[in-house]
Amino acid sequence: MTAASLSRQPLDSADIDQADIDQADIDQADIDQIALASYVLGLGDDTLILAQRLGEWITRAPQIEEDIALGNIALDLLGQARTLLSYAGELEGKVTGTSRGEDDLAFLRDEREFRNVHLVEIENGDFAVTMARQLIFSAYQYELYTALLTSTDPTLSALAAKAVKEVAYHRDHATQWVLRLGDGTPESHDRLQAALDQVWPYVEEIFDTADTADILTALPGVAADPAALRPAWSRYVEAVITTATLSLPAPTWRSRGGRAGYHSENLGHLLPDMQNLHRSHPGASW
C-alpha cells in the first residue's frame, strides 16, 4: 500500500484487494486503522477548509467585532483540524510505515486527495451566505461532537470534549446573526433567504453515507453515523429558520462526492492560496 493511498481512495474491499501489498499481509487491525484514518481525515478536511474560508473575512467583515469573532472561530476550527490531521497521519503510519504530519496533509495533497464536503469549500459570498453556511455546519458539528463524546476511541472522545464547547459558541453566533438578519429589515430578510436558498443544496451531502458506508461499518462505537445526526440537527436549524421568519428552502439539486474526492472548482481556487507558501519553501519552519 502506498503512503498516499489512504487519502486518495475511500475504504472498500475492492481498494484493499488492489493494494500494493499482498492481501495476506492485511490483518483486521490494519483494516480498522485504514477505516479510522479515512474517517478522521474527512473530519479534519472539513474543519481545515472552513477555517481557511472564514479567515478570508478578516479585515472584510461588516464590523471590527465580527473580524475578531470570525477569526476566533477560524482558529478554533484550525485547532480541531490540526488534531484530526495529525491523528490521521499517525494512523496511516501504523499501516504503511510512513507517517505524514499535519502540514504534509494540509499543504502537500492535491484537490482529489481532500475528503471534505462541498459546503465548506463554497465561496463566502456576502455576509448572509457565510452566516447561513455557519448555521448549517456548526449545528452539524455540535451534533457530531456530542455523539463522539462517547466514542470508544480515546483521541476522538478527548477532542470532542473540547470541541463541543467551541462549536456550541459557533452555533450560537450563527444563530444570533440569522435571527437578527432574518427578522430584521426587508433587505436583510430577503438577502438571508436568498443565502439559505443558495447553500441548502449542500446540506444533503453532510448526512449522506453513500461514500463512507464501508468506513462506518468498520468503526462501530468509534465513528458517528452522520445520518443519525440529522433529526436533532433538523429540529434545531428549522426552529431557527422559523423564528427568523424565513422559509425552509426546497432545492432542485444537491451536491455529492466530496468524501470520495470529487470537488467543485471552489476548492481548486482555494488550495493555491492555502498551500502556496509551504510549497514555495519546502521544509521551512517558523
Put residue 118 in one of left, alpha, beta given phi > 0 → left and psi -120 to 50 → alpha. alpha
Measured CA angle at 3 (ends 215, 27), to 5 deg: 50
pLDDT in tens, 50-99: 999 999 999 999 999 999 999 999 999 999 999 999 999 999 999 989 88
**CB neighbour burial string for 71-109, b if at least 16 within 10 angstroms, e if fewer:** bebbebbbbbbbbbbbbbbbbbbebbeeebebeebbbeb
* Residue 57: half-sphere exposure toward Cβ, Cα within 13 Å: 28
> Looking at the whole model, is its pTM more than 0.75?
yes
- pLDDT reading at 12 higher than 90: no
Distance between CA atoms of residues 121 and 257, nearest Å: 13
User: Contact at 8 Å (CB) between 101 and 86?
Assistant: yes
Residue with the bigger pLDDT between 96 and 267: it is 267
How many other C-beta atoms are found inside a 10 Å radius of the C-beta of residue 56?
15
Q: Which three cell numbers stand for residue 272?
A: 493555491
Residues in the chain: 286
**How sure is the predictor about 284, in pLDDT bands with cuts at 50, 70 and 90?**
confident
Structure confidence at residue 28 as a pLDDT band (50, 70, 90) = confident
| 204: pLDDT strictly greater than 90 | yes
